[in-house]
């Protein structure tokens, strides 16, 4: 039985012609050259696509900078980050020095940091890719400052506060969660603005620095958005309240419904009323 002709062979070539050519390498090459049908380049290569106009190119992802430090509260940082990543932000983590910083939950067990003069439970090491000074070389769309036990040491750290103030200047919008507002206040970022903070830590935050006295603290608020001078500075109540603020931030900064869509993907039901604060009663 005759073998089937390969699909790439010319219809003018016969199997016997190819077989007889095997006896001579030179003839084989010549025979293959004549027997293989030429293929149009258009069948093998796609024509290059036209370069998209700048208006059609994909927009660059907005940039978020998280300010981390020894003893930051885990949920303060990673709760909002989860939602803001889903909303479309790219995230960079910076700390006083690049490398490992430890976040945790306020408590008295395990993991002690003499440098930060704190004790936190369930320490989790987090890698900061940039130092705060290195982060100054870029502009940021959103700066996020978490709270945590570590704020107690940093609220009086003048070099840290000076760098934080410069980072806030380099950011289009600024936000804090929980006692992170104490750091913004001490850095002068909240001068003359409305703000809120953790209700259990209310007394400490509102008296934590001389500049805290210049802030218009709002005791009944899940989060507060202040646009004094045309720049958004948002502060949330304690820990999980940062999630609600993050949903609102995403929709406010990236477009209506963006935050709600991110929350839906995370299967989170946010509080949408900033005045609905069931923990306000804790303020004394």
Looking at the annotation, which residues are catalytic?
A: 178
Residues 144 and 79: their CA atoms lie apart, in Å, by 12
- Residue 279's CB: how many other CB atoms inside 10 A? 16
**β-sheet bridge partners, residue 174:** 143, 233
Residues 284 and 34: their CA atoms lie apart, in Å, by 95
Residues 217 and 206: their CA atoms lie apart, in Å, by 7
Q: Three-state SS for 111?
A: coil
HSE-up of residue 9 (Cα within 13 Å, Cβ side): 15
The pair of structure tokens assigned to 153 is 């040491």
Residue-wise burial string across 161-196, b where 16 or more C-beta atoms lie within 10 A, e elsewhere? bebbeebbeebebbbbbbbbbbbbbbbbbbeebbbb
- Residue 206's CB: how many other CB atoms inside 10 A? 19
Residues 28 and 25: their CA atoms lie apart, in Å, by 5
Residues 112 and 110: their CA atoms lie apart, in Å, by 6
Residues 175 and 139: their CA atoms lie apart, in Å, by 15
């Amino acid at each position: 039985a005759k073998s089937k002709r390969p699909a790439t062979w010319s219809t003018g070539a016969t199997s016997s012609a190819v077989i007889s050519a095997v006896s001579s390498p030179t003839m084989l090459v010549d025979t293959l050259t004549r027997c293989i049908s030429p293929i149009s380049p258009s069948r093998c290569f796609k024509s290059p696509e036209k370069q998209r106009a700048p208006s059609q190119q994909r927009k660059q992802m907005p940039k978020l900078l998280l300010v981390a430090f020894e003893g930051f509260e885990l949920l303060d940082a990673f709760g909002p980050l989860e939602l803001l990543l889903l909303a479309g932000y790219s995230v960079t983590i910076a700390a006083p020095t690049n490398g490992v910083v430890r976040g945790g939950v306020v408590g008295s067990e395990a993991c002690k940091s003499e440098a930060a003069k704190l004790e936190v439970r369930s320490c989790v090491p987090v890698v900061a890719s940039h130092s705060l000074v290195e982060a100054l070389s870029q502009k940021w769309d959103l700066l996020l400052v978490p709270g945590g036990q570590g704020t107690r040491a940093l609220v009086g750290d003048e070099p840290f506060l000076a760098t934080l103030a410069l980072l806030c200047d380099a950011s289009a919008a600024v936000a804090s969660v929980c006692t992170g507002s104490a750091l913004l206040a001490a850095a002068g970022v909240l001068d003359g603005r409305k703000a809120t903070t953790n209700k259990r830590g209310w007394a400490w935050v509102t008296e934590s620095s001389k500049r805290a006295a210049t802030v218009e603290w709002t005791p009944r608020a899940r989060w507060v958005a202040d646009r004094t001078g045309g720049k958004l500075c948002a502060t949330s109540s304690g820990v999980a309240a940062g999630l609600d603020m993050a949903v609102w931030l995403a929709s406010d900064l990236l477009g209506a419904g963006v935050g709600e869509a991110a929350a839906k993907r995370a299967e989170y039901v946010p509080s949408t009323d900033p005045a609905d604060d069931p923990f306000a009663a804790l303020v004394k």
